[in-house]
Structures are given as C-alpha cells and as structure tokens.
Amino acid sequence: MRRLTITVAQLNWYVGAIESNAARMLAVMQQQPPTVDLLLFSELALTGYPPEDLLFCDDFHRRCQQQLQQLAAATQQVALLVGHPWLVEGRLFNAVSLFWKGECLIRYYKQCLPNCGVFDELRYFTPGSNNGLIDFKGYRLGLLICEDLWEEAPLEALTAAGAELIVSIHASPYDRYKPRQRRRLLARQARQSARPIIYVNQVGGQDELLFDGQSLVYTAQGECCYRFCQFKEQIATLCFQEQQFTAGPPASRALSLTAQCYQALVLALRDYVTKNGFRRVLLGLSGGIDSALTLAIAVDALGSEQVQPLFLPSPYTSALSGQVARQQAATLSVNLLELPITPVMQAFTQQLQPYIAHDKTGSVTQQNIQARCRGTLLMALANEQNALLLTTGNKSELAVGYMTLYGDMAGAFAVLKDVLKTRVYQLAHYRNQLSSVIPLAVLERLPTAELAPNQCDQDSLPPYPILDALLRCYIEQNQSPNALIAAGFAETLVRQVVRLVDNSEYKRRQAPLGPRVTSRCFGKDRRYPVTYSWA
C-alpha cells in the first residue's frame, strides 16, 4: 500500500536573511519524526518574498547556493522541497528544488510570471519551460509555483504527464477577498484535473505586503479537506495514501472579513516593527477614531509597555478629546504623555508674523502649522526613545489629500493607509466586541481634525459613506469618471472627488508605507504619475 507522509511548514520568512532562513529550515527538518517522507516550504522561502533588487546582487546568489548545498546535505532522513532563486548561464529563475539523500532530484522553474498589481517578476526572472514531474517514493508528484496554478496550461501538462498529486508552493499576498478567490481556484483546478492539490503559502508582513498563510489541501473531487490557520505560523503533517488524504491538521476557525482585516493589521505592524529592529512605537492620540483604532492595534501587536501615545492639544482641541484619550490610555494600560502645542504654535506664528500678518484664524496655513508642530514634537520624541512613529491617517484622507505633509503624515508606518474611513468604524466596533477599549464617545462623535473652531470633516468633504463608495469604485475598481456618473453618482460630486484624488498624488508619494489589505492600495498597486494632464 502506497503511503506518503508530508509535513507542510507555513512560516514567516525574513527577506534577505538567507542564512537564518536556511538555519530555520534545518531546525524544522531535525524536528521531523522518522515517519515523515517530505517537508514542504513556500515560494522563495530561502530568500523571503519578495527579495526585489537584492536579486541583482551577485553575492546574493552565491550565498543562496551555499545554503542550498547545506540543506541538500541534510536530507538523509527526510526529503526537502524549497523555493529559491536560481541563476544559471546569466538567466535567473524563480525555482523550487526537491532534495533527497544529498541530491537534487528535480529543479522546476516557474512558468507564469505575474507582472501586475504588486508583482514585478518579469523584472527579475526568466519564465521556465520544464515540466515539474518527479517520481518520489512510489508517487508521481507534479510541482507548480504560485501563478502556475492560476493558469490552466501548467496544471494540464502535469495531468497529461500522469501526475498523481500536485504540490503548489506560493507567496500569495493577502487582500480582503483573496482567501475566497483562492478557495474557488483550488476547488476548480482540483475538480477539473481530478488531482488532489497541496497549496503551501507563507505568513507575515513584508513592507506593504502581507501574507496570511491559510495553506490548503484539496481532494481530487474539489473538496477542501484541510485548512491551515490565518496570520499565524503552523507546521502540520498530512498523510496521503492511495490517492486520499487520511490525516491532517484540524481546520482552523474561519474569520469574518472584518476579523481578517483586523488580524492582518496587527500582524503587519508587529512584523514591520520587529523585523526592522525596533521595540517601541509612538503615535499621536487625538481623541478621534483613527488614532483610537491605531492605538488598539499597536497594543495588540506589541503589548502596552512598547506603545507610547501622546496627546498634543491645541487651543481648538475640545475637552472631550482629552477625556476620551485619557480613558482609552487607562483602559489599555499605556502611559499617556500630554504635551500642549500652544507655546510652539505661538512661536511659529510670531516668527512668521511679518509674512502672514493678515492670515485668518482657521486658514490652511494656520491649520498646517498646528499639524507640523505636532509632527515635529512626535518625531523628536521618537528619536529620543529610538522608537518608530506611527501615522494614524486612513485611506479616505490619503485619497483626497486631507492630510498635512510633514504634519500628520510624519512617521514611518501608516497602519490604516489602506483602510477607508467607514471601515475604520467597522474595525473599531469589531475590536470592542473582543473587549471594550475604544470609548463610545469616540465612535459617536462627528469626525473632526480640530484644527479650527467648530471644524468637522464634512465641512470640506462629502459624507464618508458617499465618499468611500466613490473611492472604492474609482481607486479599488479602477472605474472611470464617466462610468461613475453612469452608475448614479452626481456628476459634480464625481468631478470634485476625482480632482481631489488626482491632485493629491504628490502627497501620497511622500507618505509612509502601510499594509495592503484591499485589492488596490496606494503604492505598488496604483502607480500614477505626479505630473500629468488627463482630459
């Protein structure tokens, strides 16, 4: 009776940390019992994904080859399948190698190289053309790498060649609807090919990208028999016997879309901070919903002792803002520093008086001075504490330019960069369902920057439910202004919002990184010129 025992390692890799990534693989190999036949790692696991222009460094490939040799030598008890770059005769491939008894049984090159959205693989890699079929311990395994599974031809070729089990390794970034798309894809491909599929993904944050894990196992009938957890590392063993999976990990609990998004932001922040060598973060806590949610995420990601909020009131800051900021800080057990900016504002204004003497209270200049006073103080304290400064703005504000360069945009990581304002409220309500950490008054008050007397966001912007509906269509779905008007949005509103979005590109180019949680974020997904004319 044919039997294959396979361990799937869904792990969080560090980009560029070739030696430590390889050392971790060796450690996992050593932990496997003698009954395990094959150990699976994800796409480009050796280097982390995506290595980007590190791939242009010659030394990078020398180090990869050295570690691959060590990994191959260690495969005396268990075989190893690992993704890595491979440079041969001046051509670079996105490869996967199967090592056993010190030898490379097969090295397969990725055929379908994505070059859209967040992917730039044609910049680096040459498409492969070899067939990923290998006989291993009585089974014919078919190997694929990520995009190969999304296309029809590579899987059809493996099926025609007689593959009995498909192993597909991935570095598949998360977005709000990607898990559902993957499940549909795997069900269809397994059913059409009549072959079981093991889908291996990685987990963790890498700059603006986020990998959610959730590796999957599908039967030849297109049914999901095992699902790994989301946003967590997991190592689990599968038993494959006579074309059927007979054992595997218990199914992880399915998360709602809002719960997924929240956990994604927590993981993204934790990895960005820790992988870049920081221990602490700072943020401005204003008494508004965005900073309240950012604080909750930061504490969940790093712990209360590693989070430093600052309350920086101006003459226009309401008593309510101070009250709710103190309340939330106490609830989350963080030490809130209060640092009024009025003296700094007055110093700036006095210095500039000869040039802005006739400037009115509440003007853009006066508002921006306040925001930049706060940004300067926050950056100074971040420097002093060797901490990372978080910005708290959301995607709606970033879209229409409702933020201040070198003011509330000052910082290193924008946790809510890809979260529209209406979703900020959804996430805040979700977090309060876990435990009440965001004061009710924050959720109920009208959004305001408090940079001018009696100011509300809706003085300058359409109501957020309407604005966000437009932004989803224009930015995330890439619909044209004419299509938006035809869909029922008022023409004057469409022209106003589109003009605001297009004219704010120069600001977004100077914004910090933030985690991608939708199908189209500001960053790699959306690359518009700063200077252009579009009739």
Residues classed as catalytic: 43, 110, 146
Burial 489-525 (b: 16+ CB within 10 A, else e): beeeebebbbebbeebbebbeebbbbbbbbbbbbbbb
Distance CA 195, CA 161 (A): 12
- Cβ neighbour number for residue 134 with a 10 Å cutoff: 18
CA terminus-to-terminus distance, the chain = 69
Phi, psi (rounded to 5 degrees) for 414: -110, 95
Q: Judge residue 2's burial from the number of C-beta atoms within 10 Å of its C-beta, 0-12 exposed, 13-18 middle, 19 or more buried.
A: exposed
Contact indicator for 223, 210 with CB cutoff of 8 Å: no
Distance CA 395, CA 237 (A): 40
Distance CA 470, CA 487 (A): 10
- Helix axes 319-331 and 289-302, enclosed angle (nearest 10): 20
Q: Which two tokens stand for residue 74?
A: 């260690």
Query: What single-letter amino acid sits at 180?
Result: R
Q: Which two tokens stand for residue 209?
A: 């990208």
Counting Cα atoms < 13 Å in the Cβ hemisphere of 116 gives 4
